[in-house]
């Protein structure tokens, strides 16, 4: 069955430090890949997406993600975290058709 | 931001009562989706629509029905609400195989 796994439920990071969120997918072929962010009480906002081509993808708010086919991973990174980055982050994947499959989410806490 | 609104934004109801949630879009996108969000599960697809009067089930469709009589509106109905349907419900839209855009959510509590 197709699935998306985010191994870390919570991550705490100090403001100014780097952040990496892990995402692994299990699909027969390389799916379309997405990262969304959800601030408390809000809907989901798309950070970035990967369809094909360059495996390093730039997104909004200073985020980037790297697709690694050999590891079935699509990890999200930010070099220097701001307090406003405290939120929940969701990795999602889509194969044929329009159905998105989400990971369970990673909640990021930012320490001052 | 994509023009997606959901109503109501919050609702408290009792077990056994019918509930209808509305999603309205101004983007004229073909595809519309209903998800529920529960801790540890991310978002799970309930139903989706690929055109007016064209709908299909998602992974957690039991106890839910949908209707789409106009491009801009997608209704989610709980025929007889149960406590297990307490959740946050999100509507999303997309045009083809590209990214989905999400509404602000509806928090439903079933007592």
Q: Do A90 and B97 touch (CB under 8 A)?
A: no
d(Cα A19, Cα A35) in Å, to the nearest integer?
14
pLDDT tens digits for B85-110?
999 999 999 987 778 999 999 999 99
Give me the total of CB pairs closer than 8 Å, taking one residue from chain A and one from chain B: 49
Q: Nearest chain A residue to B43 by CA: give it.
A: A102
pLDDT in the model for residue B1: 56
Q: Do A94 and B103 touch (CB under 8 A)?
A: no
Taking contacts as CB-CB distances below 8 angstroms, the residues of chain A near B90 are 43-44
Give me chain A's average pLDDT, please.
93
Sole residue written with tokens 């019918």: B18
**What backbone torsions phi and psi does residue A103 show, to the nearest 5 degrees?**
-75, 175
Please state whether beta strands A87-94 and A73-78 pair in parallel, antiparallel, or not at all (unpaired).
Answer: unpaired
pLDDT tens digits for A56-86?
999 999 999 999 999 999 999 999 999 999 9
d(Cα B26, Cα B34) in Å, to the nearest integer?
17
Distinct helix (H) and strand (E) counts, chain B: 0, 11
Q: Do B48 and A98 touch (CB under 8 A)?
A: yes
Percent of chain B with pLDDT over 70: 97
pLDDT in the model for residue A104: 92
| B29: Cα separation from own chain's centroid | 15
Q: Nearest chain A residue to B49 by CA: give it.
A: A98
pLDDT tens digits for A89-103?
999 999 877 688 999
At residue A21, does pLDDT exceed 80? yes
pLDDT tens digits for B15-66?
999 999 999 999 999 999 999 999 878 899 999 999 999 999 998 999 999 9
Nearest-CB residue to A49 (from B48, B96, B99) = B99
pLDDT tens digits for A39-54?
988 889 999 999 988 9
Taking contacts as CB-CB distances below 8 angstroms, the residues of chain A near B101 are 46
pLDDT in the model for residue B55: 94
Q: CB of B72 within 8 A of CB of B92?
A: no
C-alpha dist (Å) from residue B73 to A6, A19, A48, A75, A99: 33, 39, 27, 35, 19
């Amino acid at each position: 069955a197709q699935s998306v796994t985010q191994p870390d439920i919570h991550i705490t990071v100090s403001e100014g430090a780097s952040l990496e969120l892990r995402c692994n997918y299990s699909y027969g072929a390389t799916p379309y890949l997405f990262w969304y962010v959800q601030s408390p009480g809000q809907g989901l906002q798309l950070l970035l997406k990967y369809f094909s081509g360059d495996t390093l993808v730039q997104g909004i708010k200073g985020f980037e993600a790297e697709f690694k086919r050999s590891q079935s991973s699509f990890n999200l990174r930010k070099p220097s975290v701001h307090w406003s980055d405290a939120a929940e982050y969701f990795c999602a994947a889509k194969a044929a058709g329009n159905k998105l499959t989400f990971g369970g989410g990673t909640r990021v806490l930012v320490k001052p | 931001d994509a023009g997606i609104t959901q109503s109501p934004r919050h609702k408290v109801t009792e077990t056994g009562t019918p509930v209808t949630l509305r999603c309205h879009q101004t983007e004229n996108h073909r595809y519309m989706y209903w998800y529920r969000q529960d801790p540890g599960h991310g978002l799970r697809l309930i139903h989706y629509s690929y055109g007016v009067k064209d709908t299909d089930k998602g992974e957690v469709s039991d106890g839910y029905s949908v209707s789409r009589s106009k491009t801009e509106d997608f209704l989610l109905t709980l025929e007889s609400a149960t406590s297990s349907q307490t959740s946050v419900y999100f509507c999303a839209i997309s045009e083809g195989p590209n990214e989905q855009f999400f509404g602000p959510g509806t928090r439903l509590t079933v007592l």
